[in-house]
Amino acid sequence: MFVIISMLQKDFHNHATLEMLKNIPDMTWTPAIPKKFVGMSEQSIRRMLLQNNNTINYEKSYLTGDAPDSFSWLETAPECMEVRDQGVCGSSWAFSAVGSFSDNRCINKLDQQRIQYSEQYMVSCDQIDDGCMEGELSQDQQFLQFPGVPKDSCVSYKSGKTGVAGKCPKICEDNSTITLFKSQFFSLVSTDEESIKNAVLQGSIQAMLTIYEDFMYYNEGIYQHKSGRKQGSLAVSIVGYGEENGVKFWVARNSWGQFWGEDGYFRIVRGKNECNIEDQCFLTSV
C-alpha cells in the first residue's frame, strides 16, 4: 500500500525527462515544465485527462471550398475567443463543446459580444456523459441541441475546485429562471484535412486529442509526439491553421488557463492525424 501511495504522490514532471526532450534533434516545439503543473502528482495530472477515447459511430460530412493557406479566429475575431480553466475536473469534453458554442454564437453575431455559456450545467446535467470523469463528443453535441445550456452567469463553473460534478441545478444562482440556449445542428467534419480546414472557416470546432507524456512538457511551438507513454485524452477547440518553416499546423485552444502553452493555445502538426486530432472534429452550427 505504501508503494502505491508513494507512486501516486510522486511528481509527474522531472528534469531528466525534460533534458532528454531538449536534446531530441529537429524538434518543432520547445519543452519545459509548465508552472501550472509544478509539484503535481501523476494522480493529479490524470484527473485532468479523459481516460477513454470512445466515440459513437456517426456519419461524416465532407466540407469543400477554396480554403486559404492559413486562417485563425484569433486574428479574424479575437473578441470572440476566450481561454478558460477546467481546474481539477476532467471536463475538457464540456469546455471544448460549450467553448466552441460560445465562440460561434459570437462569430455569427447571435450575441453582440461574446457570452460565456455554462460548462457547469453540462457537467452537472448531462446524464450520459460522466461529469469530471469522461465525456463523448457526439453526446456533447447532442446535449447542446437539446436541452441546451444557460449562460455562465446563471450557472457558474465550480467543479474545477472540487473535482465533483455536482447536482443539476433547477434555477439560476440568483434564483431566477434558467433559460437554455441551443445549437441548430452539428456535423462530424473529420473526413480529411481539407474538410476540417473548411469547417474552421465557419467557426471553432471541437476535437479529441490523445495525450502522451511529452505533451505535458509543451511550452511553445508546433507540437508533435516524440516520447513517452499514453496518459489519456483531451478535448480541445481548433480555432485556426497555418504553416511555419514548412511545417503545417492546427491552432487549438486548451482549457488549462491562459498561462499554459501559447497564452492558453497550442499548435500541433496538421495533415498527419497527429495524436488522432483529426479523427473526431465536430462543427457546432448555431
Task: Please tell me the predicted confidence (pLDDT) of residue 150.
Answer: 98
Distance CA(46)–CA(192), nearest Å, equals 30
Distance CA(261)–CA(248), nearest Å, equals 18
Q: In 193-266, where does DSSP find H-type helix?
A: 193-200
Q: What average pLDDT does this structure show over 165-169?
A: 97
CB burial string 116-140: b at 16+ within 10 A, e below: bbbbbbbbbbbeebbbbbbbbbbbb
Q: What average pLDDT does this structure show over 32-57?
A: 83
Partnered with residue 79 across adjacent β-strands are: none
How far out from the chain centre does Cα 36 lie? 17
Task: Please tell me the predicted confidence (pLDDT) of residue 273.
Answer: 97
Tell me whether residue 268 is exposed, middle or buried, using C-beta atoms within 10 angstroms of its C-beta: 0 to 12, 13 to 18, 19 or more.
buried
Task: Please tell me the predicted confidence (pLDDT) of residue 9.
Answer: 67
Question: Which grid coordinates belong to 88?
Answer: 481539477
- Band of residue 2 on the pLDDT scale cut at 50, 70, 90: very low
| Mean pLDDT, all residues of the chain | 94
Predicted confidence (pLDDT) at residue 53 exceeds the cutoff of 70: no
Of 10 and 222, the structure prediction assigns the larger pLDDT to 222
Partnered with residue 72 across adjacent β-strands are: 240
Please check whether the domain covering 30-285 is classified as CATH 3.30.465.10: no
Task: Please tell me the predicted confidence (pLDDT) of residue 42.
Answer: 87
Residue 74 parent element (H or E): helix 73-76
Q: Any idea where the domains of the chain sit in the sequence?
A: 30-285
Query: By C-alpha distance, which of 232, 221, 206 is closest to 103?
Result: 206
Asked whether the beta carbons of 104 and 203 are under 8 A apart, the reply is yes
Tell me whether residue 58 is exposed, middle or buried, using C-beta atoms within 10 angstroms of its C-beta: 0 to 12, 13 to 18, 19 or more.
middle
Phi then psi for 184, rounded to 5 degrees?
-85, -50
Predicted confidence (pLDDT) at residue 216 exceeds the cutoff of 90: yes
Question: Is cis: bond before 169, omega within 30 of 0?
Answer: no
- For the full predicted model, state whether its pTM sits above 0.75: yes
Q: What average pLDDT does this structure show over 242-254?
A: 98
Q: What average pLDDT does this structure show over 207-220?
A: 97
Task: Please tell me the predicted confidence (pLDDT) of residue 59.
Answer: 86
